[in-house]
Chain A
Amino acid sequence: MKRTVTVTVLNQSGVLNRITGLFTKRQFNIESITVGPTETEGISKITFVVHVEDARTAEQVLKQLNKQIDVLKVTDITDQAIVSRELALIKVLTTPQTRAEINVIIEPFRATIIDVAKDSVMIQVVGNFEKIEAMIELLRPYGIKELSRTGQTALTRGSQKQVTELKQYSILK
């Protein structure tokens, strides 16, 4: 199962090393990891997506992270209402014939062409994991020359959605 976890940490030297080291030690697989400063000076936020086998391992990930002295808060936001975004830069091969076609493909994704060369264009797209995957699939037939992705960063929404999946929470069942 895939979990999205945010970790706020004291911005001490080596803190990222501590966390990735922990993942190696406990054999947790990281799919993506992003780090950056937060609104508070000296505190950074790490967002990572991790693949774990079962709920027990997912719980261990959170608990082991929590044990780190420099870690202030660990939250598994997978089941919350979140906004999750990733940026991808995609260099696609073009010919004069396909250039317009590519433009049409990327338009619904609100992606932009940020660099044009004789035989390729560079496309920038921002979105959640699935959206970027979908666009890459559509572009693949044209020939993707290079691809660079930032990994996901995420925040929980200001207001959480109403509980709709009653079976998960219901006392009525």
Chain B
Amino acid sequence: MNAKVKTEAKPLKQAMSGAELFIEALKKEEVEVVFGYPGGAVLPLYDALYRNPIRHILARHEQAAIHAAEGYARVAGKPGVVIATSGPGATNLVTGITDAMMDSLPLVVFTGQVATGVIGTDAFQEADVIGITMPITKHNYQVRDLKELPRIIREAFHIATTGRPGPVLIDIPKDIATTISNPEFVTEVDLPGYQPNLTPNVLQVKKLADAIAQAKKPLILAGAGVLHGGASGELLSLAEQMNIPVVNTLLGLGSFPADHPLFLGMGGMHGTYTANMAMYESDLLINIGARFDDRLTGNLQHFAPEALVAHIDIDPAEIGKNVDTHIPIVADAKEALQKLLELDLTEPQANEWRLKVKQNKKEYPLWNSEDEEGISPQRLMETIHEVTDGEAIMTTDVGQHQMWAAQYYGFNKPGRWITSGGLGTMGFGFPAAIGAQIAFPDDTVIAIVGDAGFQMTLQELGLIAELNLPVKIVIYNNEALGMVRQWQETFYEERYSQSLLPCQPDFVKLAEAYGIKGYSVSTEEEAESVLRETLNSREPVLIDCRIKPKEKVYPMIAPGAGLHEMIGVKP
């Protein structure tokens, strides 16, 4: 077996240092922007950066740098690149790396490391970053020899962006960055152990076509794989041609237009009644690029009990992991759907089913309570949709505000929705919005955050002020960890242990301290007028919205319950 890397040697005329080589390699990968934070072990890299035109975004904390890179990667169609120093710089990235791993975001992360001679001696700012990040990266490398650096960087970008995307980390010891050599750049990669399969097995696609023809209750479940594969157009064609209703996962939102008559909403723990009952009752469930996460399936025993399950996924390990799959299709979503659409498809005889689904949609819409003073968080989200024509890039943390955004914003196109799904990271939304705004400087980018999550990464107000990035921060302020509070109310007899946060800064003054406009609104009229005035402006704005503190996210599948056992389905 040939395990050697095929190299296309292009010796450069002058010798260069490892750090210069690093910059050259980034240029070859067409990197336009890097997110990072300097420190001792990466001084050589930053020195090379000083003399080169790659844009560097200086976050105020490494965690924010990597979340910004994630936001960038989610919408820019390019990998996010991060630099942090050794030791604490690297360990501060751990949450972001894990988040990117869980949500399949392409990142290439560079960490500094102490010099090769002192690795393993507990040197100043030394941490075993390779060991720490092994289970949370798609792959990681430590550069032991400068000659390997060009190959490693090429491979890292290749691995991060192909197949199921994910984070790749490269650990560069300080002495490697300062060594001078005549590097040979590589253009091709030869990774015999990494050959993602993009093309579907024709027989399985044919099987799926047959299953569609015979189905009485067909349903499409579309996940983030559709977005990664750029397969929204194909998904729309399939759904429309076969007249099959569509459910989205949380991360799949935007892959299918929310205002389409065939759209049933998001499925899962806080999904719509219609979507969850459709999954429960379907006889053919076509999963395209979703991983049957437990927040989607609820109790697996009650998940789609009647359904023949077809699963299109680029990662073979996801197929059959949680749910028994009858038609496995390992492929890129776009290629698989294209192959399927090329076949002579027969529309399923499913009129009764469509009627039922339609009735459910009408009978069980999302609802909100009206028995409390303050801004309705649900209507606030609808207002944001209206003011931005549903075109804004929306980012969130995790929790109630995230679920309301998912339920009520109504994403009609791909690449507008950035949220921390798998890992559920508080403090993600605001820095992620910064990354999205860097990718799309002219678009409206709104960070929907809770008052608690915002306080985890609010130091980045400094960054948006410095760059005058027109990120809009909308705080869903209920003076609590809303979702924790909701669970304590529902499952812990209202024992609000450590979930109420009445002591909080004056967010308006806080914004003003950074030179950013701040507003506080406590009625829906105020909120609407401020949103109209500011959301489409060209400067950063913070809006502290006092929402109804006791409002809960409904409907809900209690932990351990099945899809059909939703609570809070109707007022």
Q: A residues touching B (Cβ–Cβ < 8 Å)?
A: 9-10, 13-14, 17-18, 21-22, 25, 40, 42-43, 56, 59-60, 63-64, 66-72
Contacts and interface: CB of A to CB of B under 8 A. Distances in A.
A63 B328 CA distance: 14
Contacts of A10: 3, 192-193
Contacts of B159: 69
A14 B171 CA distance: 14
A152 to B, nearest CB: 24
Given A21-B135, A40-B1, A67-B315, A56 B193 contact: no
Interface centre among B3, B139, B193, B194 (most CB of A within 10 A): B193
A14 B317 CA distance: 22
A56 B320 CA distance: 7
30 contacts: A9-B193, A10-B192, A13-B144, A14-B134, A17-B131, A17-B134, A18-B134, A21-B134, A21-B135, A25-B135, A40-B3, A42-B3, A43-B1, A43-B3, A56-B320, A59-B320, A60-B321, A63-B316, A64-B317, A66-B317, A67-B315, A67-B317, A69-B138, A69-B139, A69-B159, A69-B193, A69-B194, A71-B193, A72-B3, A72-B192
Given A43-B1, A72-B192, 17 more contacts: A10-B192, A13-B142, A14-B134, A17-B134, A22-B135, A25-B135, A40-B1, A40-B3, A42-B3, A43-B3, A56-B321, A63-B316, A63-B321, A64-B317, A67-B315, A69-B138, A70-B193
Nearest to A57: B321
Interface residues of B, number: 20
B7 to A, nearest CB: 16
A69 B193 CA distance: 5
Nearest to A9: B193
B5 to A, nearest CB: 11
B123 interface: no
Nearest to A67: B317
Contacts of B192: 10, 72
Contacts of B317: 60, 63-64, 66-67
Contacts of A72: 1, 3, 192-193
Interface centre among A42, A59, A60, A67 (most CB of B within 10 A): A67
Contacts of A56: 320-321
Contacts of B142: 13
B513 interface: no
A66 B135 CA distance: 15
B130 interface: yes
A22 B139 CA distance: 12
B316 to A, nearest CB: 6
B15 interface: no
Given A42-B3, A60-B321, A72-B193, A66 B316 contact: yes
B191 interface: yes
Contacts of A17: 131, 134
A112 B178 CA distance: 57
Nearest to B322: A56
A10 B317 CA distance: 21
Q: Give me the 7 closest cross-chain CB pairs, A-B, nearest first.
A: A63-B317, A69-B139, A72-B193, A69-B194, A25-B135, A42-B3, A71-B193
A80 B209 CA distance: 35
Interface in B101-159: 130-131, 134-135, 138-139, 142, 144, 159
Contacts of A22: 135
A66 B319 CA distance: 14
Contacts of B131: 17
Interface string B298-332: 00000000000000000111001100000000000
A70 to B, nearest CB: 6
A63 B318 CA distance: 9
A111 B94 CA distance: 52
A72 B191 CA distance: 9
Contact of A68 (B130, B193, B321): B193
A64 to B, nearest CB: 6
Contacts of A68: 193
B65 to A, nearest CB: 25
Contacts of A21: 134-135
A39 B320 CA distance: 35
A59 B134 CA distance: 22
A17 B135 CA distance: 10
A68 B168 CA distance: 12
Contacts of B138: 69
Interface centre among A9, A40, A63, A64 (most CB of B within 10 A): A63
A60 B142 CA distance: 28
Contacts of B144: 13
A22 B142 CA distance: 19
A69 B134 contact: no
Contacts of B1: 40, 43, 72
Contacts of A59: 320
Interface string B406-442: 0000000000000000000000000000000000000
Interface in B269-321: 315-317, 320-321
A144 to B, nearest CB: 36
Contacts of B194: 69
Contacts of A42: 3
A166 to B, nearest CB: 26
Contacts of A60: 317, 321
A40 B192 CA distance: 14
A156 B320 CA distance: 28
A13 B130 CA distance: 11
Contacts of A63: 316-317, 321
A14 B315 contact: no
Nearest to A10: B3
A36 to B, nearest CB: 16
A6 B33 CA distance: 43
A59 B191 CA distance: 23
B130 A69 contact: no
B430 to A, nearest CB: 30
A18 B320 CA distance: 23
A67 B164 CA distance: 10
A72 B190 CA distance: 12
Given A25-B135, A66-B317, A14 B130 contact: yes
Interface string B241-284: 00000000000000000000000000000000000000000000
Nearest to A42: B3
Nearest to B131: A17
Contacts of B135: 21-22, 25
Nearest to B138: A69
A41 to B, nearest CB: 9
Nearest to B139: A69
A30 to B, nearest CB: 16
Interface string B1-26: 10100000000000000000000000
